Amino acid sequence: MFASVTATGQVIWDFGPTSGTPNGSCWSNDVDGQNFADDFSFAQPMTLTGMDIWSCTSFGVSTAHIKIHLDDGAGNPGAIFTEWDQAVTSTVDPLGWRISADFAGVALDAGQTYWIGMSPNVGGASQLSVSTPGDGTMAQFNGSTFSFHASIGDQMYQLRGALAGAGIPDLNDYGITTLALLIGVAGIIGLRRLY
């Protein structure tokens, strides 16, 4: 139902609607009021190039605030790692709206727990949640201040990007690996004729 590859990379973290159990809950999401973040980490260094969240309402604006916090070591959002305002698109989705942001790469370290959230800059919107595959909670903020872990499901979101340093596309996507293999086999056959 949902594509796993976009113009800005593959899905590298999936708490989207098909990853688990959407719980049908829709929560107010506003950069100056209630907003959320959820935790993620990778075993290998990654470059983050996009984010999608699901909402039961359209953002109604063309920009959102994206924030990434470092974990404080106790399982909470800690210091800001990076944050910025970003152009977004809203598309109709079977669950409501898919809000998408594509951006320049953000380098993420292996083994580091991060907390990420996206909320509209003007006006309110919403954040859908999923009961699985995570721990069933998301960090709730009042503006930029972390308040508590809300037991309302995990933030419904996906992160897009690639393995750090993987600046070229997967060669299998273009059949180049197959072509290289054929050239190699032809080269071996050609070498046999020389002897």
Check residue 173 and give its pLDDT.
43
The answer to whether the CB of 135 falls within 8 A of the CB of 149 is no
| Domain containing residue 70: CATH number | 2.60.120
Residue 147 burial (CB < 10 Å; 0-12/13-18/19+)?
exposed
Check residue 99 and give its pLDDT.
92
Residue 35 covered by a domain: yes
- Give the ranges where the chain is alpha helix by DSSP (H): 176-194
More reliable by pLDDT, 49 or 94: 49
Q: Are strands 125-130 and 154-155 parallel, antiparallel or unpaired?
A: antiparallel
Check residue 54 and give its pLDDT.
93
Query: Mean pLDDT in the chain?
Result: 82
Check residue 57 and give its pLDDT.
81
Residue 84 covered by a domain: yes
Q: Which of 56, 57, 66, 52 has the alpha carbon at shortest distance from 99?
A: 52
Residue 172 covered by a domain: no
Residue at token pair 């054929």: 182
DSSP secondary-structure letter at 73?
Answer: S
Residue 169 covered by a domain: no
Q: What integer is the mean pLDDT of 35-40?
A: 96
pLDDT in tens, 96-124: 899 999 999 999 999 999 999 999 887 76
Q: Which of 4, 12, 5 has the alpha carbon at shortest distance from 163?
A: 12
Q: What integer is the mean pLDDT of 73-91?
A: 95
Q: What integer is the mean pLDDT of 41-63?
A: 90
Print the domain residue range for 143: 5-164
Cα–Cα distance, 177 to 168 (Å, whole number): 13
Check residue 167 and give its pLDDT.
55
Residue 186 covered by a domain: no
Q: What integer is the mean pLDDT of 145-160?
A: 95
How many domains are there within the chain?
1
Q: Which of 21, 4, 22, 23 has the alpha carbon at shortest distance from 13?
A: 4
Residue 191 covered by a domain: no
Does residue 84 have a pLDDT over 90?
A: yes
DSSP secondary-structure letter at 8?
Answer: T
Q: What angle do CA 89, 94, 99 make, to 5 degrees?
A: 20
Q: Which of 76, 50, 78 has the alpha carbon at shortest distance from 64?
A: 50
Residue 194 covered by a domain: no
Check residue 8 and give its pLDDT.
64
pLDDT in tens, 154-179: 999 999 999 998 753 443 444 444 43
Tokens, residue 23: 């719980």
pLDDT in tens, 60-76: 768 999 999 999 999 99
Q: What integer is the mean pLDDT of 21-48?
A: 92
Check residue 195 and give its pLDDT.
37
Omega cis (within 30) before 133: yes
Residue 91 covered by a domain: yes
